[in-house]
Structure 1
Amino acid sequence: MGGKRTRMVNHALMSMTGFAERRGAGAGADWVWEIRAVNGKGLDLRLRLPEGIEGLEQAARAAVTAQVARGNVTLTLKLARGAEAGAPRVNAAGLAAALDALATVSQVAAQRGIELRQTAASDILILRGVLETGAAEEDTGPLLAALLADLDAALTAFNAMRAAEGQALAGVIAGQIARVAELASAARAAAEARRPLMEQALRDNLARVLAGAAEADPARVAQELALLVVKADVTEELDRLAAHVAAAGRLLAEKGAVGRKFDFLMQEFMREANTLCSKSGNADLTRIGLDLKTVIDQMREQVQNVE
């Protein structure tokens, strides 16, 4: 029953780990986007972005969170602006005002017979307001649009890597689920095989108790022994294991972030395996239970990588 379901591999299963780099140029700048991600319980997004580009942080955060549900993600932008961006610039209005002032000074000096030396361009450039060396007030909209277009491409590459790893994870997990199904079937067979031995052992115990205690109530003793049989029965545990196998197969075929659901399901798998071992009372069944715990623990390690 579980075998066919566990062979289904969801090609959309995503890993939480991934890396992508995207280089671009335009709008007077060169840049490199880098996206790195490792496992995390939730989404922890860290942005390392340059300042001075209005709307970049908000747009970048929205772009990543729209495509990533879990993981510790670091988004880095290395930006190199063109040389003209930081070069000194002549303020036309400041220059005009300075030249008007120099003309006025020259005119007044001439009227008073004062001879002034010839003014050099360097003398004018050092006047306040003529030369600007700070960042220019500019429209960063074109640069923002170019950066976000390349971020989309970087995210596409990032998700392609996560999907490839997710496909590999799905194959491994599917094999482990199939192995759990096989062990659960073997446990059911072992439980059936031990049944006659358990019943005979209980009959022998009942006979010994009744023979050694004349005052014992046979009905009461039989009732207590029947309770022991019920407590040793592993049918419910095996039925729940089969249900968990089916649920895991459905998760592999489910789209979207399923990592947390898998985390919870691994706890349920392990709970049934532990109970099976505690109730086995049989070497073969105990061995199968221990094998189950090993496979489930290995599967839990793989599930930690699923988004």
Structure 2
Amino acid sequence: MASKHRIGYLMALSMTGFSFKEADTQQGILLLEFRSLNNRYLELQVKLDESLRSFEPMIRDLISAEIKRGKVDCRIYFKSKTHALDVKNVDPVKLKQLANSVDEIAKHFSHVQPINPLDILKTNEIMHDQSVDMNVLEQDLKKNLKESLLEIQLSKAREGEKLQKILLDKLKDIEVLVGEAKKILPVLIKDYQTKIENKFKEALIAIDDDRLKQEFLIFIQKMDIDEELNRITSHIDEVRRLLKTDGAIGKKLDFMMQELNREANTLGSKSISPKTSQISIDLKVLIEQMREQIQNIE
């Protein structure tokens, strides 16, 4: 099952979600509850009624095929419509095992309260309800499990939509800063040219074109940030593409934040102007804000 395709979303999914389903089947009531929280990898915890234990591998396979990251807590209960307290449904082998265990424990205590038979009848491990068709139960479980997974994915998609908007807004802010840096560069070169010419005149040194060219070359090499700005723009395009991609993209986005931060750091190290230094700082702040949000994405 690929419910993200059925949902119709091509966007980031949050790792936070919840779903609860109560299904009235022919044989009984199925209760399915899912809770999903942030986690670096998929951590799946499954709690089942004893009557559903044999289906655990199937349940885990269905969940892990759908959810790729997050701490997922799955609880599924089944309440049969048959007379669960019918003494004919008692499993004699398990009952004998229980009696032996109680006798063994009683040897170590001087006063032991007698066991209430009604409590034994309410114990799932002791009851053996042969009236439940396990094949039918499996089909009912699969159907409702898929519907519950679809519901939690819808819940995660709604949260993911909010995260996507935040990240796209941050990308626009980064683009504005990149644009400002590109506009500053020609102004800095012109200002530096004037500064060098004035220093030559103050020192009463004849301005030699070759010497000026050498000074400008050193200056331009030190502050050439076009490559960094172009890479930042390229990374922005890739992040936008990922945000519209189906599937687990959280790790890829986190990697892109590392790459963006690397370029912002290089931009700062090359800066010889307070304006470009401030742009580098502002970029790193925005990138860190994005990284914090990306920790919530599957």
Flag whether TM exceeds 0.5 (same fold).
yes
| C-alpha contact (below 8 Å) 1:177/1:245 kept by paired residues | yes
Q: Measure, in 2, the Cα distance between the counterparts of 1:160 and 1:72.
A: 17
Q: 1:249 to 1:171 in 2, by over 3 A?
A: same
| 1:219 CA displacement | 8.1
1:297 aligns with 2:288: yes
TM-score by length of 2: 0.74
CA–CA distance in structure 2, aligned partners of residues 22 and 262 of structure 1: 33
Work out which of the residue numbers 128, 134, 149 in structure 2 matches 1:135: 128
1:7-58 per-residue CA deviation (whole Å, 9 max, x = no partner) reads: xxx7532111101001123354323111111112221111111223364111
- In structure 2, the CA distance between the partners of 1:207 and 1:26, relative to structure 1 (3 Å rule), is same
Q: Structure 1 residue 285 and structure 2 residue 269: aligned? A: no
Q: Distance in 2 between matches of 1:34 and 1:207?
A: 80
Of the three residues 257, 262, 280, the one matched with 2:253 is 262
Match of 2:39 in 1: 40
Matched residue, 1:239: 230
The one-letter amino acid of 2:56's match is: E
Alignment of 1:149-298 (within 5 A): 149-202=143-196, 226-298=217-289
CA distance in 1, matches of 2:65, 2:281: 42
Distance 2:236 2:251 in 1: 16
| 1:26 is the counterpart of 2:29 | no
Name the counterpart of 1:71: 70
User: SS where residue 52 of structure 1 aligns?
Assistant: helix
Aligned residue for 2:189, secondary structure, equals: helix
Checking the alignment, whether the CA contact within 8 Å between 2:51 and 2:78 is kept in structure 1 is: no
Q: Structure 2 vs 1, CA of residues 45 and 206 (structure 1 numbering), >3 Å: closer, same or farther?
A: farther
TM-score (structure 1 length as normaliser)? 0.72
CA apart distance, 1:221: 11
Q: Give yes or no for contact 2:52–2:78 (8 Å, CA) kept in 1.
A: no
- The structure-2 alpha-carbon separation of the partners of 1:195 and 1:224, relative to structure 1 and needing over 3 Å to count, comes to closer
**Structure 1 residues without counterparts, runs of 5 or longer:** 1-9, 92-132, 212-217
Instruction: Check conservation: 2:19, 2:35, Cα contact below 8 A.
Output: yes
Q: Distance in 1 between matches of 2:153 and 2:293?
A: 19
Further displaced range: 192-201 or 57-66:
192-201
1:229 to partner: Cα distance: 3.3
How far apart are residue 247 of structure 1 and its match?
1.1
Give yes or no for contact 2:32–2:74 (8 Å, CA) kept in 1: yes
**1:32–1:284 Cα change, 3 Å:** same
Offset, 1:195: 1.4
RMSD, aligned CA:
2.9
Matched residues in 2 for 1:161 and 1:188: separation? Answer: 41
Distance across 1 between alignment mates of 2:89 and 2:282: 79
Task: Give the equivalent residue in structure 2 for 1:100.
Answer: none
**Any unmatched runs of 5+ in structure 2?**
1-8, 91-125
* Closer/same/farther in 2, CA of residues 41 and 202 from structure 1, 3 Å limit: farther
8 Å CA contact retained: 2:22, 2:30: yes
Please tell me the residue identity of whatever aligns with 1:183.
Answer: L
User: Aligned in 2, Cα 1:152/1:206: closer, same or farther, shift over 3 Å?
Assistant: farther
Identity of aligned residues (%): 30
Helix, strand or coil for the counterpart of 2:33?
strand
Is the CA contact 1:35–1:74 (under 8 Å) kept in the aligned structure 2?
A: yes
Aligned to 1:130: none
